[in-house]
A and B are shown apart, each in its own frame.
Chain A
C-alpha cells in the first residue's frame, strides 16, 4: 500500500514537473547567417510573453545545418536540437528519407486556421498528406534591385520595363550611357536562379505541382530558356557567382540584380555607402500583362520528433512565424520577407525606406505574394537542378539546336535519374 502511494505521488510529481517543464524550457535552434540573426531579434518580444522559455540560437552556417541534420536523422534523431531551420527546396528530401525525424506540427496546435494564414505556395513543400512537418517562415518574392543613377543617366524609366525585351533594350542603353556597367548578372557557373525565377513566373518548373511528373520541357519552360539565352547573348546578363555579384554591386559595375526579396538585406548591408542610390521594381515578364511575380528561396522551421520540449518549441515557432510581431521584427532587422499574409498589413511595410531613396520597397515587394504560383522542389530537386545546369551550359555553348531539344534531353535525363514520368 505504502509503495503504491509512493508510486502515485511520484507519478503526480512527474506529471507536475512535466507540465512545468513545458512552461520553463531551454530550447536550442539551428540556423544560419542572417536567418539566425533574425531569430535572435525576436527573442526580446518572445521573452516578454514567455519569460521562462529560454531560446538559444546557434548560427552554424547553411551547409553545416544540412549536414548535421542529415547525420542526426540518420542516427535516429540523436543529437538534434529542439528546432531546426529547413530550406524549402531541400525540405522534401528530409520528409521523404526521415519521416520519423520531425514532429507533426498538427499534433502541437498547428490548426487549419493557422495554416490558412500562409499562402499555398509556401505550404506545398512542407506538408505531406495529413502531416505538417514545418511552418513557413520567410519567402522570396522576386524583384529587380536597380541603381537609380545608372538608369537615370541612360534616360530609362524602370516603370516602362514591362517585358524581358524591354529589359534587354534598356540594358543596351544603360551600358552605353555608363561604360563598364552591365545590366544584370546571373550565376551561370553554379546556379540556375534566372531560369527558376522566370519559369516560376510563367507557371512552369522542373516538376508539376503535385510532384508526380516532369514538366521541364513544357512550352513555358522552353520560352524561359530561350529568353535567358537571348539575354546572355545580348550581353544583358554576364556570369557572376554570388560573391562576385556583391563585389560588382559595391564597385558600381552592375546596374541591376534580380533575386528574392531577401536580397534587400544583402544590398543594404553589403553597400552601405550607396544609400539612396538603389531602388526596386517588379520583375519583367514575357508579355506586358504577364504575372510579374515569382518566388525564389525561403525557409521554414521544424521541430525534432524526439525533443523533450515540443510544446515549448511550438510556442516559440508559433510566436516567431505565426504573429505579425515576430515576423515584422525579422523583416525590420534583417530584411526577411514574411510569408505570413497578415504581416503585409503591418504599418512598417508601408513606411518609406531611406536606403531605397524613400521608396516603400516592402509594400511593393510584398504586393506580389498573392500572385505567386506554387513550385515544387520534390525530393529529387538536387538531381534535377544538376541536370538542368549541365543542359544550360551545353545549350549556351551551342550543344543543342534549340531550347526545346535541350529541355527534352534534360527531361529524359531527369526521368532516368528519378523514375518519374515526363508530363504529356
Chain B
C-alpha cells in the first residue's frame, strides 16, 4: 500500500471502526442469526426454521399485505396532495407565504407520541370529534379502532397528515428551481395554465417527485409509530400490523431474534427492489 494511502486510512480509521462495529457487524451478524433457531438454548443452526416459517406464515403475509396496501394507497395520494400544496404555495397570489410554509411543515416537528394521542382522541368511537361530524350529517359512526379496514384508513390518514407537508416543501424547492422564462415563453404562445402544469411543471419536477416517492416508499416499508401508537400495536387483531411491527413483536416480545432477522432481511430486499423499480420507471428516456 502506498504511504499516501496508508495515512489516509489512518485518518479514516476512527470512522471505519465505528462503521464496522455498529453497522457492518450487525448487518453480517443478523444475517447469520437468521439461520439459527433462537428459541432453544443454546442456539442451533437450522436453515429452515426461520426462512421456512416465513414462507408459510400467515402473519408475515398479513403484515406484507398491510404494508403494500399502505404503499399503494398512501404514497400516491400523499405525493399528489404534496404537489398540489407545493403549487399553491408557489402561487404569486399567496400572501403570508412563510406562515403557510411553516404550517404545512409543522406536523413533522410534532412528536409522534403527542400527535398519536390527539388522533386517538379525535377518532374515539364514542366521544371523538370525527364521529360527531360523521353522525351530524346523518351517517352512522365508524368504529375506527375495532374494524380492520377503518383502522387501516386511519393509519393512512395519519401518515398522510404528517408527511404531506414535508414532501410539499421539498417539491416547492424543486418548483422554484424551474426558471421563469420557460413559463413566460409558454404564456406568450398562449398555452393555458393547466397545460403549462402538465407539460412543463410535471416533467421538470419529475426527478424531485421520484426522490419524494423513494423516500416515502422506504419510510412506509419501515412504518412503525402510527400503527403502534394510534391503532394500538397493529390492532385490531393484526389488521394494521406492518412488517416493522411484526419484526418488533418477534424480536422483542417473543424474543425470537432469528425470525426477526429473517423478517428484517426480507424488508430490506423488498425496499431495494421497489426503489430500483422506481428508478427504472423514472429513468431518463434517451
Contacts and interface: CB of A to CB of B under 8 A. Distances in A.
Interface in B220-237: 231-233, 235-237
B146 A386 contact: no
Contacts of A176: none
Interface string A375-414: 0000110110011011111100100000000000000010
B79 to A, nearest CB: 30
B143 interface: yes
Contact of B252 (A70, A96, A247): A70
B253 A382 contact: yes
Interface residues of B, number: 32
Contact of A390 (B41, B62, B143): B62
A240 to B, nearest CB: 8
Contacts of A70: 252, 255
A253 B124 CA distance: 14
Given A93-B255, A99-B41, A382-B249, A239 B143 contact: yes
Per DSSP, are chain A's interface residues mostly helix, strand or loop, or mixed? helix
A39 to B, nearest CB: 25
A277 interface: no
Interface in B115-148: 124-127, 143, 145-148
A10 interface: no
Contacts of B59: 386-387, 390, 413, 417
B254 A93 contact: yes
B97 interface: no
A253 B127 CA distance: 11
A256 B221 CA distance: 41
B39 A386 contact: no
Contact of A389 (B38, B57, B238): B238
B179 interface: no
A97 B41 contact: yes
Contact of A394 (B41, B145, B237): B237
Interface string B52-64: 0100111100100
Contacts of A416: 53, 56-58
The secondary-structure label for the interface of chain B is loop
A189 B235 contact: yes
A172 B146 CA distance: 22
Nearest to A100: B41
A399 to B, nearest CB: 10
B205 to A, nearest CB: 41
A380 B254 contact: yes
Given A93-B254, A99-B41, A417-B57, A190 B238 contact: no
Given A96-B41, A393-B148, A189 B255 contact: no
A386 B238 contact: yes
B244 interface: no
Contacts of A380: 254
A397 B148 contact: yes
A413 B58 contact: yes
B165 interface: no
Contacts of B146: 188-189, 239, 393
Interface string A84-117: 0000000001001111000000000000000000
B238 A383 contact: no
Interface of B: 38-39, 41, 53, 56-59, 62, 124-127, 143, 145-148, 151, 231-233, 235-239, 249, 252-255
16 contacts: A67-B252, A93-B255, A189-B231, A189-B236, A244-B126, A247-B127, A248-B126, A386-B59, A390-B58, A391-B237, A393-B236, A393-B237, A393-B238, A416-B53, A416-B56, A417-B53
Interface of A: 67, 70, 93, 96-99, 188-190, 239, 241, 244, 247-248, 253, 379-380, 382-383, 386-387, 389-394, 397, 413, 416-417
Given A70-B255, A96-B39, A393-B237, 13 more contacts: A97-B41, A99-B41, A189-B235, A190-B233, A239-B143, A241-B145, A244-B124, A244-B126, A382-B254, A387-B59, A389-B237, A390-B239, A416-B56
